[in-house]
Amino acid sequence: MRLRIIMADPAGNRTAIVRTPVPADQRAQIAAKLLQMKDLRAEQAGFETAPLMGGAGRLQMMGGEFCGNAARSYGYLLWKEKEETQGKAAGDIQIEISGSPHPLRVFCDPAQDSSYAEMPMPQAVEYSPEGYPLVISEGITHMIVEDREPDEDLIRTAVDTYGQKWDAFGIMFLKGKKLIPVVYVAAAGSLVYESSCGSGSLAAAWYLEQKTARDGLSSYCFQEPGGTIRVKILREKGGTVSGRMGGALLLEKETEIEV
């Protein structure tokens, strides 16, 4: 099969955006092949499909999971392709992505080569027997491990325990502003030390914000292996919480590959 793809690089979390229609039952297998291609250096793959909720487009991730970096990359791509946005300094677009029950706004600034995605907010937090918080969101759950370097035994135990419970499961090793993300996707059977993780950054920021729970805007900046991810959490009076995640990204030219 020949595939049209665009590689997006949001803070090193290289994402293959597949534009050629691919049957749903073949996506996990094709995604696995894409991740094995050394020239692509892809950490994940998403497949462009027809929108279901009125968005400008829809991206279905390889395991049906949610991915914030993929969402902001796909939104930036569609925004730049729209004829009416040509020459505009900045703007926003609504896109759909697996794991989100509603379209998300992506805020695009081509002058800065950056985009920020409106993020689905976590639904709850649970705790592992060891006391690690599990931040549960639509499409992905993240374990926050503070003040500890990546640990293979911990990762293996966590994936064995929780990896099949959600579409995707991340372990975020957080030490001050330093964040190292490890993500397991059940359907694809992939375990990746990611260069950055948008949903994991949001989960970490939300968890930190919960400790103070003050009205107003809280900003977080995480230094991740592939670059910087910024998160803004807004808590309104009455307790409503919303968030955006993003930063710089690079879109490469579309190419065709054989899989």
* Res 238 pLDDT > 80: no
Does one domain contain both 89 and 143?
A: no
Same domain, 131 and 27: no
Work out the average pLDDT over 74-79: 96
- Does 75 share its domain with 146? no
**Are 167 and 72 members of one domain?**
no
CATH number, domain of 103, equals 3.10.310.10
Look at residue 152 and tell me if it is in a domain. Answer: yes
Q: Within a domain: residue 159?
A: yes
Are both 241 and 128 inside the same structural domain? yes
In a domain, 26, yes or no: yes
Query: Is the same domain home to 223 and 131?
Result: yes
pLDDT of residue 24: 95
Q: What value does the mean pLDDT take over residues 199-204?
A: 97
231/204 same-domain check = yes
Question: Which pLDDT score is estimated for 139?
Answer: 87
Write out the residue range of the structural domain in which residue 240 sits.
Answer: 124-247
pTM tops 0.75? yes
Neighbours of 140 (CB within 10 A): 29
> Domain for residue 117, yes or no?
no
- Token pair of 250 as six digits: 């690079």
Residue-level pLDDT at 142: 98
pLDDT digits (tens, 9 = 90+) for 82-139: 877 777 778 999 999 999 999 999 999 998 999 999 999 999 999 999 999 999 998 8
pLDDT(18) > 90: yes
Q: How many domains does the chain fold into? A: 2
**Residue 70: its pLDDT value, please?**
97
**Does a structural domain hold residue 28?**
yes
pLDDT, residue 77, reads 96
In a domain, 118, yes or no: no
Q: Are residues 69 and 157 in the same domain?
A: no
57 part of a folded domain: yes
**Same domain, yes or no, for 156 and 52?**
no
Cα dist. 244→123, 125, 168, 198, 255 in Å?
16, 19, 20, 10, 30
State whether 12 and 53 are in the same domain. Answer: yes
**% of the chain exceeding 90 in pLDDT:** 88
pLDDT band at 67 (very low <50, low <70, confident <90, very high): very high
Mean pLDDT (the chain) is: 94
